[in-house]
Structure 1
Amino acid sequence: MNKEIVYVVSDSVGETAELMVKAVAAQFNGGDVEIKHVSYVEDIKDLNNVFTAAKYSNSIIAYTIVIPPLKQYLDQRAREEGIIAIDLMNPLMKAFIQKFNKEPIRQPRLMRKLDDNYFRRVEAIEFAVKYDDGQDLRGINNADIVLIGVSRTSKTPLSMYLAHKRFKVANVPLVPEITPPDELFDIPKNKCVGLVITPDKLNEIRKERLKNLGLTSQANYSSLDRILEELDYAEKIMKRIGCPIINVSNKAIEETADLLLAMLKKRGVVFHE
């Protein structure tokens, strides 16, 4: 049987359509379908390219197009080719028109122009990159959240995940040979979160890291003695700060992030909506 394909067609990025397609696909044996993106559609030529590919495959077209001539052409061409094409926005748009008695602008990419959350997300991502791994300690005072922990406790990926949720995150590595910055002890303790991990899990992760770098797994970096020394040192710093601590062993980034935010809110930390 031919591979099942969904063409996600949009006059913008198409992320809304993709999320909806993934949500539906997940209901069918885990969502084993291939999603092909066709973003920033501006003319009929772009749509013709989609139909050329779609009519020779086992596929569906899911689209979010608000420009009337393009939508009309897509619907008509889909009927002619016998291809299922689903307008993901139109039912809700019709409901808005009917219930609120308003007419849509029908202009693409308005979310990118009007959604302040988008710009806050970009700003947070740039912040996370700039203040990653203790590169610039000025970020500690300006961050919403400061992550601390030894190497390979998911500080960077967790920072980026939280940045996509619009939180400005700085992270600082804890190394026995390096005195932690004074700023860590000056900020509110609830603003800082310590990340810990079991020695065996960290040993496994570091060995794999060295293997990927083409280095010997016998390096001090992955030795159990060194790991125990680092974890003991990090725990002392975290206790000195008085910050909440999360054990990230065997936790997905999403799970750690949810736990972190719930923990901080419980401690009275107020975040922007």
Structure 2
Amino acid sequence: MTDEKALQSPIVYVISDSIGETAEFVVRAAASQFNGGDVQVRRVPYVDSQEAIDEIVQAAQEDGAMIAFTIVIPELQQYLIEQADERNVRYVDIMGPMLTALESAYNRPPRREPGLVRKLDEDYFRRVEAIEFAVKYDDGRDPRGLLHADVVLIGVSRTSKTPLSMYLAHKRLKVANVPLVPEVEPPEELFRISHKKIIGLTIEASHLNRIRRERLKALGLTSDANYASVERIQHELEYSDRVMKRLGCTVINVSTKAVEETANMILDLIRQGRTR
């Protein structure tokens, strides 16, 4: 006669001081090695007290279950182990051995902060979303994006709007940028958003002249084209200055600044609440 207990699916209480996804994944991966992995997982996330541990260990004892945990707070971890030992409940510390090994490798203690993996995942996806946003709304392609941007960069051609947008996107900011051209009226969406979200980028005419001449050379064009003429540049800068004054936005002169320096100035403005 087949043992009835052997036919029952094992019960595993997955306990975590975060969401518990890591422990459940490990349990199911291990169970898959046993005839298809039929296992009853009872996940208990966000365990943050000894009282909660008491209830879980008692339930596991009554169910004849085992416990798998990823608790990283030392006091709760030790308490769980003590209670499980006292009640003869089997347990597996999923994170402990790896933390101990890595502590030796890093030569420093772990942070012991719950939920860091999930925070890192969320951070990654926010960065990807911001980069996609910057690409989609680069160079004034779709003015509707201005309404959803965290920061809007405006300025004449070659004031580093696109590199700045991408740099800030890696800081998880949704950035749109709009070129200011005298012959083209700025999009009306620009005047519907808070002036605090707009950063005007300006530059010295002589500096812009050098940049544009080099750009023309790189494209195999003559450097005396209207695009790089001092008169044209002066006209564009005067126009952009008028637009920025109409908007009442913050203006940064990027003449001698690296992209990183300008980006840090913008990040400082955000931290001060001056772009919200």
Q: CA deviation at 1:114?
A: 4.9
Q: Distance in 1 between matches of 2:166 and 2:118?
A: 20
> How many residues are treated as equivalent by the alignment?
178
CA distance in 2, matches of 1:126, 1:251: 26
Gaps of 5+ in 1: 1-65, 69-86, 103-109
1:149 aligned to 2:155?
A: yes
- In 1, the alpha carbon distance for the partners of 2:184 and 2:194 equals 22
Which structure 2 residues correspond to residues 154-233 of structure 1 after superposition, within 5 A? 154-233=160-239
In structure 1, C-alpha distance between the alignment counterparts of 2:270 and 2:108, rounded to whole Å: 41
Deviation, structure 1 residue 260: 1.5
CA distance in 2, matches of 1:208, 1:153: 14
**Equivalent AA in structure 2 for residue 254 of structure 1:** E
Change (3 A) 1:187 1:199: same
Q: Distance in 1 between matches of 2:274 and 2:237?
A: 28
Call closer, same or farther: CA 1:121–1:228 in 2, change over 3 Å: same
In the alignment, residue 188 of structure 2 is paired with which amino acid?
D
2:259 corresponds to? 253
Runs of 4 or more consecutive aligned structure 1 residues displaced over 6 Å after TM superposition: none
Q: Is the 8 A contact 2:198 2:275 kept in 1?
A: no
Measured after TM superposition, the shift of residue 264 of structure 1 is 3.9
Amino acid at match of 2:215: R
| 2:121 is equivalent to residue 115 of structure 1 | yes
Q: CA RMSD in A?
A: 2.8
Instruction: Assess if the C-alpha contact under 8 Å between 2:103 and 2:109 holds in 1.
Output: no
1:167 maps to a residue whose letter is L
Once the two structures are superposed, the pairs formed by residues 33-182 of structure 1 within 5 Å of their partners are 90-92=104-106, 95-96=109-110, 114-182=120-188
What are the within-5 Å matches in structure 2 for residues 232-251 of structure 1? 232-251=238-257
- Shift in CA distance, 203/111, structure 1 to aligned 2, threshold 3 Å: farther
TM-score (norm 2): 0.59
Larger Rg: 2
Q: Structure 2 CA distance, aligned partners of 1:228 and 1:240?
A: 19
Deviation, 1:93, is 7.6
The residue identity in structure 2 corresponding to 1:246 is: I
How many percent identity over aligned positions? Answer: 61
TM-score when normalising by structure 1: 0.60
Partner of residue 50, structure 2? none
Which whole-Å CA distance do the structure 2 matches of 1:184 and 1:95 have between them? 49
Shift in alpha-carbon separation, 1:123–1:228, aligned structure 2, 3 A: same
Q: CA deviation at 1:158?
A: 0.2
SS at structure 1 position matched to 2:257 = coil
